[in-house]
Each structure stands twice: as structure tokens, then as C-alpha cells.
Amino acid sequence: MRFLVVHAHPDPDSFSHAIRAAALKGLAAADHEVELIDLYAEDFDPCMSEAEHRDYLTISEDHPDPDVRRSIELVRWAEGLIVIYPTWWSGLPAILKGWFERVFLPGVSFTIDPGTKPLRPALNDMRRLVGITTYGSSRPYRLAVGDPGRRTLLRTIRLAMGRRCRSSWISLDTLDGRSPEERAEFLAHVEAEMAAL
């Protein structure tokens, strides 16, 4: 399968980067085709411009920003999307949220019927969606606040994909309280899950 991995963390020495490495290793073991977008390393601008907003319904066909254009091409190419990020303020890092806003445009992730106006999914070749994250908080806390990052990915983003798309969630709660052994065990789990895709 063709997988697009999107990663959002600014520190190359972070545990999130170790998760990314484990995921890529597992995907390679399963002989998948993989493309990586590292939002911070690529200095992706998450802010939609006034011109983008004005041309929102048509801009996906010839987007003026080369970074967004590349992302659109990779999203259209992919059969699976894997999103790796740390949960901050109970949700997605701003750079990742901005990536979705600028890339998952009409004509890319959904279409709008001109007569009745309902949204229809456009990523019908997408067969897998995987979210991988860590939480600083405990499981009871994230459940109490509604786990917004998970909802965004597995509900909102998932709706842009066809009916055949399967989704899964891999997460580690209370990251700062985890021992080196627990962290290593989680990395092994991520690698195994990616190898099994």
C-alpha cells in the first residue's frame, strides 16, 4: 500500500520522533511505499491567507503555495494516512490543524454538490487512517474533556474517506510518568502495528 505519514513535533530528540522512527520501520518491514511530511522540519505555514480563503472552493486545482501543492499531491497519491503528533491542549498541534485546513480542500478531501450542497467524500481510494499520539494527561482526564484530537481524526477526517477505509488509534497516556521500559514497549507496539497494516 501507499502510505503518507504526517508528523508534527518541533524537537528532533522528542519521543514523538522516536514514535515516527518506529512507525517508519514497521511500514518498511511490511514493504509499503511511504512518503513523509515532517511539518516542522519543512517549516510548513499553517496559516490560510486571505487569497486562499477567498478562492477556497477552487484553489485546490492550482494552489499557489508549493508546500500545499505537494501535500495535495501526496494525499491524492496515498491509500493510507498515518498522523503522528503529541496531544497539546487536548488536541492537535496548531501546525497540524493548519495543515488539514490548507490541504483538505474542496476537490481534495470532499466535493460539494452544486444543487443540494451536501458534502461528499473525495478520498475514496484511502483504505486506512491511523492516528498515533501521546498524552501528558491521564486517560480519565482526556475522556472527561472529550479527546478532541481523536474525534477530529477518527470522525471529521475519516468522513472524507470512502466507506472501505478502516481507522485505528494508537496512544500512550501520562507520557511524563512513563518509565524507559514502558516507552520502549510502546515503540515496539507501534512498530508491530505498522508492520501488520
Task: State how far the Cα of 191 lies from the Cα of 140, in Å rounded to an integer.
Answer: 26
Domain definitions of the chain by residue range: 2-195
Task: State how far the Cα of 4 lies from the Cα of 1, in Å rounded to an integer.
Answer: 10
Range 13-43 burial, b when 16+ CB lie within 10 A, else e: eebbbebbebbbebbeeeebebebbbbeeee
Instruction: Provide the CATH number for the domain formed by 2-195 in this structure.
Output: 3.40.50.360
Tens place of pLDDT per residue across the chain (197 aa): 999 999 999 999 999 999 999 999 999 999 999 999 999 999 999 999 999 999 998 999 889 999 999 999 999 999 999 999 999 999 999 999 999 999 999 999 999 877 777 889 999 999 999 999 999 988 889 889 989 999 999 999 999 998 899 999 999 999 999 999 999 999 999 999 999 99
C-beta separation of 156 from 83 below 8 A: no
Query: How do beta strands 110-112 and 119-121 pair?
Result: antiparallel
Chain-centroid distance of CA 65 in Å reads 20
Task: State how far the Cα of 128 lies from the Cα of 82, in Å rounded to an integer.
Answer: 8
Closest CA to 38 of 84, 91, 93: 84
* pTM assigned to the model: 0.95
C-beta separation of 33 from 3 below 8 A: yes
Q: How far apart are the first and last CA of the chain?
A: 9
Task: State how far the Cα of 64 lies from the Cα of 45, in Å rounded to an integer.
Answer: 13
